[in-house]
Amino acid sequence: MDGNGRWAKQRGLPRIEGHRRGVETVRTIIEAAKGTGVRYLTLYAFSAENWKRPAAEVNALMLLLQRFLRSETKELVDKKIRLHTIGRTHELPDAVRTELDRALQATAQFTEWHLILALNYGSRTEVVDAAAAYAREVAAGREDPAQCSYEKLARHLCTAGLPDPDLVIRTSGESRISNFLLLQAAYAELLFTPTLWPDFCGEQFRAALAEFAGRERRFGATSEQLQPPA
Ligand code: FPP
């Protein structure tokens, strides 16, 4: 969800106004995703590296998140959307964690639609945490490194139980992944749009899905193997 700062700057507004508008887009895209049948939507809301930002901006983002969770939980329940988080959420401020826990609990019974918020998330810290958890299993005699596989390691990633992303969309014209789901997106289709996140809309989301639908995903195989001649 990149480009909030530039959206605000272009209008002579403080950066936080861009984030505020960004929350509106979050609502729009959740609605759009449900309408298109996308069952899993992950939003990169705060990276493990975002703590480097000025304290005022970090605090404002935490407040926006807290308010979003408080105001949107009823909406998620009405829409039967289950909330998940990925990232080191135990390091978030207590007030955010309280709202998060409430929202997670309130939506825990839903199975069809899933909203995943990446909060204090970064792939590198995720891999470090997964490796440490796996090592503890080895030390306890429950895992044998000789039998290690990606599937076994992935059980310790914070996305355990969630499917890999099929499509990753980055807004704002940057062509980077920025530590987002690096392992899980190994075979994801990547789509970069110049639109700043606050201007991203349902129509653009649906256009991204249409572009995705037109791509050939070979997962290491050949075109011929995917579509053998009749
Ligand atoms: C990146 O844009 C955006 C963020 C670091 C924060 C995204 C957060 C929200 C949209 C609001 C909170 C989220 C939820 C789910 C309620 P940037 O600030 O780096 O933009 P710039 O590159 O133009 O400066």
Identify the residue whose C-alpha is closest to ligand 1 atom 15: 45
C-alpha 9 to ligand 1 mean position (Å): 13
Q: Tell me what pLDDT residue 75 has.
A: 97
Determine the Cα–Cα distance for residues 80 and 99; give it in Å rounded to an integer.
18
Cβ of 5 closer than 6 Å to ligand 1, yes or no, is yes
Percent of the chain with pLDDT over 70: 100
Report phi then psi at 229, rounded to 5. -60, 145
- pTM as predicted: 0.96
Neighbours of 10 (CB within 10 A): 11
pLDDT tens digits for range 137-174:
999 999 999 999 999 999 999 999 999 999 999 999 99
C-alpha 130 to ligand 1 mean position (Å): 26
Q: Tell me what pLDDT residue 8 has.
A: 98
Q: Given pLDDT bands bounded at 50, 70 and 90, which one contains residue 230?
A: confident
Q: Are 196 and 73 in contact (CB under 8 A)?
A: no
In a 3-state reduction of DSSP, which class is residue 121?
strand
Q: Are 45 and 116 in contact (CB under 8 A)?
A: no
Q: What residue ranges do the domains of the chain occupy?
A: 4-210
C-alpha 81 to ligand 1 mean position (Å): 22
Cβ of 23 closer than 6 Å to ligand 1, yes or no, is yes
Has 2 been annotated as catalytic? yes
Q: Tell me what pLDDT residue 9 has.
A: 98
Has 164 been annotated as catalytic? no
Residues whose CB is less than 8 angstroms from the CB of residue 84 and which lie 6 or more positions away in sequence, other chains included = 104, 114, 115, 116, 117, 162
Q: Tell me what pLDDT residue 119 has.
A: 98
CATH architecture label of 4-210 = 3-Layer(aba) Sandwich (3.40)
Determine the Cα–Cα distance for residues 46 and 96; give it in Å rounded to an integer.
12
Which burial class, exposed, middle or buried, applies to 119 when counting CB atoms under 10 A from its CB (0-12, 13-18, 19+)? Answer: buried
C-alpha 186 to ligand 1 mean position (Å): 24
pLDDT tens digits for range 19-72:
999 999 999 999 999 999 999 999 999 999 999 999 999 999 999 999 999 999
Identify the residue whose C-alpha is closest to ligand 1 atom 13: 45
Cβ of 3 closer than 6 Å to ligand 1, yes or no, is yes
Q: Tell me what pLDDT residue 159 has.
A: 98
Question: What count of Cα atoms within 13 Å lies in the side-chain half-sphere of residue 119?
Answer: 21
Mean per-residue pLDDT over the chain, rounded: 97
Cβ of 76 closer than 6 Å to ligand 1, yes or no, is no
Cβ of 20 closer than 6 Å to ligand 1, yes or no, is no
Q: Tell me what pLDDT residue 25 has.
A: 98
pLDDT tens digits for range 84-136:
999 999 999 999 999 999 999 999 999 999 999 999 999 999 999 999 999 99
- Buried b / exposed e over 35-66, threshold 16 CB at 10 Å, is eeebebbbbbbbbbebeebeeeeeebbbebbb
